[in-house]
């Protein structure tokens, strides 16, 4: 059995010990959708989350609010390069 440092171990609700193991690290971008006519939130307030690894790989997810106040996160197709509005101008992801 492998030996891991104590600081990377965690215990589940069932009492089992697990190791927190890094997949990758990087940066992220979150954006929401607004109605261009009035600037109000569109589509029930869904948010797009784009995870960008240090190697440049991306993963995209929609975060959708639910009536139970818990958000639903579902994978989304990767759309490639695009721009988003930062409140003043269009900026790259």
Residue 81 near residue 91, CB atoms below 8 Å: no
3-state secondary structure of 65: strand
93 lies in some domain: no
Domain span at 35: 24-86
Written as six digits, the tokens of 52 are: 């960008």
pTM of the complete model: 0.80
28 lies in some domain: yes
- How much is the pLDDT for 75? 97
Written as six digits, the tokens of 41 are: 């939130």
Tell me whether strands 83-85 and 90-92 are parallel, antiparallel or unpaired: antiparallel
Look at the chain and report how many structural domains it folds into.
1
Q: Report residue 73: phi and psi, to 5°.
A: -115, 120
- How much is the pLDDT for 42? 86
Name the β-bridge partners of 31.
48
11 lies in some domain: no
pLDDT tens-place string over residues 27-85:
999 999 999 999 888 878 899 999 999 999 999 999 998 889 889 999 999 888 899 99
Confidence grade of residue 1 (pLDDT, cut at 50, 70, 90):
low
């Amino acid at each position: 059995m492998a030996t891991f440092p104590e600081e990377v171990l965690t215990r589940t609700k069932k009492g089992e010990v697990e190791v927190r193991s890094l997949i990758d690290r990087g940066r992220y971008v979150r954006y929401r959708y607004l109605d261009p006519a009035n600037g109000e939130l569109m589509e029930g307030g869904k948010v797009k989350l784009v995870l960008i690894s240090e190697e440049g790989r991306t993963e995209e997810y929609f975060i959708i609010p639910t009536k139970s106040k818990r958000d639903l996160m579902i994978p989304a197709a990767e759309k490639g390069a695009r721009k988003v509005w930062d409140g003043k101008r269009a900026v790259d992801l």
